[in-house]
Chain A
Amino acid sequence: MAAIELRNIVKVFSDKRRGRDLLTLDNINLDIEANDFVCLLGPSGCGKSTLLNIIAGFEPATSGRTLVDGKQVERPGSDRGVVFQQPTLMPWLTAIDNVAFHLKLKGVAKAERHDRAMEFIDLVGLRGFEHHHPSELSGGMNQRVGIARALLMNPSVILMDEPFAALDAQTKLEMQEELVAIWQKRRCTIVFVTHSVDEALVLGNRIVVMTKRPGRIREAVDFDLPRPRDITSPEFNDAKRRILALIREESTRLARAS
């Protein structure tokens, strides 16, 4: 059984003001195996974030079935950790309290909450900053808190919606390396949304290329280049050429169609 099964997912947004419907996701079928690192790659507006929100349970699909660990997704839940594009931390809580928020909701005592959260603070390299508020931390550090918060729930899948898009290039590289290290250490299933071919190739062992509106799956490419990946190696560039060709083919098809 796959960790995530998407069956005939269709999403239509109805634009009430203009009185028309917008087909955003058109018949998505995808199986994601446990412990896979899957990147959903596509241009802005292709519906990849919408697809992630459907798996997270934030939005219902218009039709189709979404199964996580064999269970139908109906609402958000702590079996699916989400890392948002913006850190989306509670600004009134310190880093450690943000990481441990799930435990607080479950009624775990404070000392134990902090003990368990410290493990994840260490994992994302934030020891020494655990008592800082989000306003005192940089964007990259806050995003680490967001990742630690998702990991602490020990979810079966982690959904990431362009979490590094707002970071500078150098921080982004660091965070990508660390995320891969965490994934290797903890063996979890990650679905990572990105519009960057490079990012998808650095991170994923499976890259799902999506087409522009309406969103369809163009192709799912397995990519097993050993890690750490050298982004200047011929193998990396071959893969990049292949993915770019898929995207280009798609845009010429669209251009011809219009």
Chain B
Amino acid sequence: MTSAIEVSPAKPAFRLTRALQGLERVVVPALLIAGWEAFARSGVLPPALLPAPSAVLHALGDWVFGLDETTQTYSGHWLRDALASALRVFAGFALASLLGILAGVAIGWSRLFEKTLEPTLQMLRPIPPVSWIPLAIIWFGIADKPAIFLVFLGAFFPVLMNAIHGVKTVDHNLVRAGAMMGASQRQMLTDIVLPAALPSIFAGLRIAVGSAWMLTVTAEMVAVKSGLGYVLWDSYYFLRYDIVLAAMISIGLLGYLSDLSLKAIMARALRWQTTTTVQGRAG
């Protein structure tokens, strides 16, 4: 089908406005970074306490590419550290998604699960995941497992809550329509309730992936000896604030990328939600 609205090629003047609009977005960050650089170089604070953006970039570059070993033992090891953290995030997040969706759908769908399972889970929910660290270390030792456990705790509840909400708020009339067309209970769940709850489930997954990154770093600070969080905490002991900042930037970037990939998957799965309307075009 051809599009009803023809898009004319951008005129030069239009392109210029577009470029200016693009500039608007970078004005504030550019000013902040320039101000920070100037302040750091002014010597009000010793450079060790407030590294300039250029120094942070230098540290990050060396950490990633191994330029001049300014980051010492970390030089050139960024990929290994990032991968260690990303795997923990992925493992904990995947586990939390699986169990969160299963438990959430069960609670939202069946009164039996709602009565038996939900009170316990809702009681566990307000306990900060970080407060599980001592137990996690006793149970799982110092390795990947306690970190994955903490990530799981942080990601599980947002997935759970949104899955419950999604299933409970399914349009009652869609269920009626399904019954009218002869859907069995199982088909009602898989063919109507689950797709209808999907937008809500995705909302939960997006919140959860953010929590997952927060918790993996926390866990790496205390319970693991690898990953971006570990580098961050270790560099703090050696007063290398340039590496601390480089680690913070790395985490922010990877968290943002995880959210972007989740958003891309969501856009594909929920394409029906975002399509443009052709209302009124039918004669």
Contact indicator per residue, chain B 79-91, by CB within 8 Å of chain A (1) or not (0): 0000000000000
Pairwise interchain contact B182-A102, C-beta atoms closer than 8 A: yes
* Interface membership of B273, Cβ < 8 A: yes
Smallest CB separation, A85 vs chain B (Å) = 9
Pairwise interchain contact B282-A92, C-beta atoms closer than 8 A: no
Task: Give the CA-CA distance A102 to B272 in the complex, in Å.
Answer: 20
B99-107, B170-178, B212-220: which lies at the interface: B170-178
Of A88, A102, A133, A153, which one neighbours B176 at CB under 8 angstroms? A88
Smallest CB separation, B275 vs chain A (Å) = 5
Contact indicator per residue, chain A 6-45, by CB within 8 Å of chain B (1) or not (0): 0000000000000000000000000000000000000000
Pairwise interchain contact A84-B182, C-beta atoms closer than 8 A: no
- Taking CB atoms, residues of chain A closer than 8 Å to B177 are 82, 84, 88-90
Q: Which residue of A lies closest to B280 (CB)?
A: A138
Task: Give the CA-CA distance A104 to B184 in the complex, in Å.
Answer: 12
Pairwise interchain contact B179-A75, C-beta atoms closer than 8 A: yes
Interface residues on A, range: 35 or more
Contact indicator per residue, chain B 171-206, by CB within 8 Å of chain A (1) or not (0): 101101111111110010001100110100000000
Pairwise interchain contact A135-B180, C-beta atoms closer than 8 A: no
- Taking CB atoms, residues of chain A closer than 8 Å to B17 are none
Smallest CB separation, A191 vs chain B (Å) = 14
- Taking CB atoms, residues of chain A closer than 8 Å to B181 are 78, 101-102, 105, 149, 153
- Taking CB atoms, residues of chain B closer than 8 Å to A149 are 181
* Interface membership of B120, Cβ < 8 A: no
Smallest CB separation, B203 vs chain A (Å) = 16
- Taking CB atoms, residues of chain A closer than 8 Å to B272 are 91-93, 133, 135
Task: Give the CA-CA distance A227 to B205 in the complex, in Å.
Answer: 57
Task: Give the CA-CA distance A181 to B229 in the complex, in Å.
Answer: 71
Q: Which residue of A lies closest to B279 (CB)?
A: A138
Task: Give the CA-CA distance A167 to B220 in the complex, in Å.
Answer: 60
Pairwise interchain contact B191-A104, C-beta atoms closer than 8 A: yes
Task: Give the CA-CA distance A88 to B173 in the complex, in Å.
Answer: 6
Pairwise interchain contact B180-A82, C-beta atoms closer than 8 A: yes
- Taking CB atoms, residues of chain B closer than 8 Å to A92 are 195-196, 198, 270, 272-273
Q: Which residue of A lies closest to B187 (CB)?
A: A105
From 61 to 97 in chain A, residues with beta carbon under 8 angstroms from any chain B beta carbon are 75-78, 80-82, 84, 86, 88-93
- Taking CB atoms, residues of chain A closer than 8 Å to B178 are 105
Pairwise interchain contact A90-B195, C-beta atoms closer than 8 A: yes
- Taking CB atoms, residues of chain B closer than 8 Å to A135 are 272-273, 275, 277
Using known A-B contacts A90-B174, A133-B272, determine if residue A76 contacts B278 with beta carbons closer than 8 Å: no
Pairwise interchain contact A84-B173, C-beta atoms closer than 8 A: yes
Task: Give the CA-CA distance A206 to B21 in the complex, in Å.
Answer: 65
Task: Give the CA-CA distance A58 to B178 in the complex, in Å.
Answer: 11
Pairwise interchain contact A76-B191, C-beta atoms closer than 8 A: no
- Taking CB atoms, residues of chain B closer than 8 Å to A137 are 278-279, 282
- Taking CB atoms, residues of chain A closer than 8 Å to B180 are 56, 76-78, 80-82
Smallest CB separation, B178 vs chain A (Å) = 8
Q: Which residue of B lies closest to A93 (CB)?
A: B272
- Taking CB atoms, residues of chain B closer than 8 Å to A80 are 180
Task: Give the CA-CA distance A106 to B174 in the complex, in Å.
Answer: 18
* Interface membership of A223, Cβ < 8 A: no
* Interface membership of B116, Cβ < 8 A: no
* Interface membership of B8, Cβ < 8 A: no
* Interface membership of A236, Cβ < 8 A: no
- Taking CB atoms, residues of chain B closer than 8 Å to A141 are 282
* Interface membership of A132, Cβ < 8 A: yes
Using known A-B contacts A133-B275, A153-B181, determine if residue A76 contacts B176 with beta carbons closer than 8 Å: yes
Task: Give the CA-CA distance A137 to B279 in the complex, in Å.
Answer: 5
Task: Give the CA-CA distance A153 to B179 in the complex, in Å.
Answer: 13
Of A86, A104, A138, which one neighbours B173 at CB under 8 angstroms? A86
Give 14 A-B pairs besides A102-B181, A105-B183 with Cβ atoms closer than 8 angstroms: A78-B182, A80-B180, A92-B195, A92-B272, A92-B273, A102-B182, A104-B191, A105-B181, A128-B1, A132-B278, A135-B273, A136-B276, A138-B280, A153-B182
Jot down 24 A-B pairs with beta carbons below 8 A, ordered by A.
A75-B179, A76-B179, A76-B180, A80-B180, A84-B176, A88-B171, A88-B173, A88-B177, A90-B174, A92-B198, A92-B273, A101-B181, A102-B181, A102-B182, A104-B191, A106-B182, A132-B278, A133-B275, A135-B277, A136-B276, A136-B278, A137-B282, A153-B181, A153-B182
Give B contacts to A, CB under 8 Å.
Answer: 1, 171, 173-174, 176-184, 187, 191-192, 195-196, 198, 270, 272-273, 275-280, 282
Closest 5 pairs (CB-CB, A-B): A76-B179, A78-B182, A102-B181, A133-B272, A88-B173
